[in-house]
Structure 1
Amino acid sequence: YGGVGGRDLGGVRSDIRPIVAQAQKTAPQGVSIVLRGQASTMSSSFLGLGIGMLVAIALIYLLLVVNFQSWLDPFIILTALTGALAGVIWGLHITSTTLSVPAMMGAIMCLGVATANSVLVVTFARTHLEEGMDPLKAAWEAGTGRLRPVIMTATAMIIGMLPMALGLGEGGEQNAPLGRAVIGGLMLATVATLLFVPVVFSLLHRQPADTVKAEPKDNVPSTVLEEAVSTT
């Protein structure tokens, strides 16, 4: 039996796996060396959390479809989640943190905040679009008009996660992957929400220019005919 002190379980498992594989080569015939304990439990937890994440994304999409009465705008909103997932991977990579159950939980938390910020931007863009504004201008106004609320929400979450990401306190290193995943995910998700989402909105809502047909010169507009009738 071995305990984990000052390190996350995923990192210890990654270090032990090559040792177990090497020992298996020199083991007597009929003897197998298997890694048990919390490491195997964590592997099964990965599968459950992965399925839970996919189900969560599907439910979010369906709820947004009901709310917006559209299949297109919820898809635009979910494009911000690509930035969130990329940010989670980036945050874990630059901090040399292995993927673990707390990191997966942090990724799910990050998806919720990223979706909320993206809903804020798309709702504002839809309002301008319904007022007759051009899709490109509506997306620009949404990105600039909701810049401060989105940044404030992400910044507050990042600052709140800093102590956890630094692993402060006794046993803090075990929960550090959660904070690092949330911080990395929110950093790139915020950029995606303010830049990528408006671009996708303007592209998908763009319509071909209407062709204006010129009226024949011999046709008199109806307004002129009405004025002539009223004067007579």
Structure 2
Amino acid sequence: VDDYVEADQVKYVFAVDRAKAALAGIPSEEIVNTLRMALEGTKVGLVHIPQEKSPVHIVLRLPLAERTGLEHIGEIGLRTNTGGIVQLSELLTIEQTVQDKAIYHKNQKPVVYVIADVGGPGAEQAESPVYGVLGVGKKLEDYRPLEGYKIEQYYASQPWLEDKIAMKWDGEWQITYETFRDMGMAFAVAMLLIYLLIVGQFQSFLTPVIIMAPIPLTLIGILPGHWLTGSYFTATSMIGFIALAGIIVRNSILLVDFIQLQERAGVGLFDAVIKAGAIRTRPIVLTAAALMVGAFVIILDPIFQGLAVSLLFGVGASTLLTLIVIPVLYFHMSGRQRTPLEPSAEPVSGDGETARPAREPIGTVTA
């Protein structure tokens, strides 16, 4: 842990005694230039070295050992107008003060920055600063300054008043907060677009609700998956959760679309739901298995481990639950709120082929 609070630093102020300088006939500018040359150095020329492409500056100044203290600076001699030598210490007055400290501001408010890294047992696995922030925050709740008030902690906004000490968590925490906030907004927009697309496809406001119902079920696999693998829920984990929404919706569409095809063929609602679960299980499981194999490859990656865990455990749990939840929800909600679909002119058989109606006899032939 470190902070930006600066310790007191000694500062020496050199002032030219103009009266003594005038008596010696030495201009104040010459005294200042001599002092600057001794401490900072002055470029007096160039030297050309055969091994160098560019000329090297010649800098004239005191050796390091002699310019680190004041005892040698006062021994520098200056020539007077009469040809004598006077020491620099006789022409200067030295005042010892304290160096001005830097004042940091953020959003026009004075602040003191405190920086830290996650340490202690298990620090090498702390991929997110959230856990460190929460741990320190609990200890700050019990701390009281000399005035006796409680230090308020701000996680998303900046303190408004300046009459009391307050803590604003910033840095990686602010980045994490903004990342999850933006991805949450993107997830909400994605859900709205998915809903509108399904409404346009099925011409119903209830069917998209049934199809999108398994999306929260991915958390049943994602959260225990992070706990089992010892991984933290990071931004990549959130990306995996958003990606799973589209995959689970696809599986739900396969089931609901098949059920409606069976209803148009004249199959009862109960039998259509049973057939959908039996026939569509294989493509849904194969799709989930292919995704799980692809996610398993990157599960050991330190950056994309959260993404892999979300995809691997989320798709496994949600696929199994989708095969149960979607048929049950569709059966109960469709059976209660609407009548079964009427058979179409060209009904569709269970194997997906168009069933042609049998021709009626034209007449009777007798022997």
Per the TM superposition, whether the score is higher than 0.5 is yes
Identity of aligned residues (%): 25
Query: How far does residue 100 in structure 1 lie from its aligned partner after superposition?
Result: 1.8
1:7 maps onto 2:125 in alignment:
yes
1:63 maps onto 2:197 in alignment:
yes
> How does 1:48-87 map onto structure 2 within 5 Å?
48-87=182-221
Structure 2 segments unaligned to the other structure (5+ residues):
1-114, 148-163, 340-367
Amino acid at match of 1:145: I
Post-superposition Cα deviations, 1:96-149, rounded to whole Å, max 9, x if no partner, equal: 333221111010011111111111111111100111111111111111101110
**3-state SS of 1:189 partner:** helix
Q: Name the CA shift for 1:21/1:206 in 2 (closer, same or farther; >3 Å).
A: closer
Query: How far does residue 8 in structure 1 lie from its aligned partner after superposition?
Result: 5.1
1:44 maps onto 2:178 in alignment:
yes
1:185 maps onto 2:319 in alignment:
no
1:149 maps onto 2:278 in alignment:
no
Write 1 or 2 for the structure with the bigger share of helix.
Answer: 1
Q: Name the CA shift for 1:153/1:85 in 2 (closer, same or farther; >3 Å).
A: same
CA distance in 2, matches of 1:28, 1:60: 56
Contact 1:7-1:173 at 8 Å conserved across structures:
no
Query: How far does residue 43 in structure 1 lie from its aligned partner after superposition?
Result: 0.9
Post-superposition Cα deviations, 1:126-178, rounded to whole Å, max 9, x if no partner, equal: 1001111111111111111011100000011011001222x2xxxx2222111
Contact 1:20-1:33 at 8 Å conserved across structures:
no
CA distance in 2, matches of 1:123, 1:186: 21
- TM-score by length of structure 1 reads 0.77
Contact 1:6-1:173 at 8 Å conserved across structures:
no
* Runs of 4+ that moved beyond 4 A: 1-6, 26-34
Query: How far does residue 33 in structure 1 lie from its aligned partner after superposition?
Result: 5.0
CA distance in 2, matches of 1:32, 1:70: 52
**3-state SS of 1:205 partner:** helix
1:18 maps onto 2:18 in alignment:
no
Query: How far does residue 206 in structure 1 lie from its aligned partner after superposition?
Result: 1.7
**3-state SS of 1:206 partner:** helix
> How does 1:29-178 map onto structure 2 within 5 Å?
32-165=166-299, 167=300, 172-178=301-307
Partner of 1:205: 334
Contact 1:118-1:193 at 8 Å conserved across structures:
yes
Contact 1:102-1:177 at 8 Å conserved across structures:
yes
Contact 1:129-1:135 at 8 Å conserved across structures:
yes
**3-state SS of 2:199 partner:** helix
Q: Name the CA shift for 1:158/1:2 in 2 (closer, same or farther; >3 Å).
A: farther
**3-state SS of 2:125 partner:** coil
Amino acid at match of 2:303: Q
Larger CA deviation: 89-98 vs 109-118: 89-98
Contact 1:20-1:34 at 8 Å conserved across structures:
no
Amino acid at match of 2:135: P
Higher RCO (C-alpha under 8 Å, 6+ residues apart): 1
Q: Name the CA shift for 1:112/1:27 in 2 (closer, same or farther; >3 Å).
A: farther
Q: Name the CA shift for 1:41/1:58 in 2 (closer, same or farther; >3 Å).
A: same
Write 1 or 2 for the structure with the bigger share of strand.
Answer: 2
Q: Name the CA shift for 1:83/1:53 in 2 (closer, same or farther; >3 Å).
A: same
Contact 1:92-1:99 at 8 Å conserved across structures:
yes
CA distance in 2, matches of 1:75, 1:32: 45
Q: Name the CA shift for 1:201/1:20 in 2 (closer, same or farther; >3 Å).
A: closer
CA distance in 2, matches of 1:27, 1:155: 57
Amino acid at match of 2:316: M
CA distance in 2, matches of 1:8, 1:66: 45
**3-state SS of 2:266 partner:** coil
Partner of 1:196: 325
Query: How far does residue 36 in structure 1 lie from its aligned partner after superposition?
Result: 2.9
Q: Name the CA shift for 1:185/1:98 in 2 (closer, same or farther; >3 Å).
A: same
Contact 1:158-1:183 at 8 Å conserved across structures:
yes
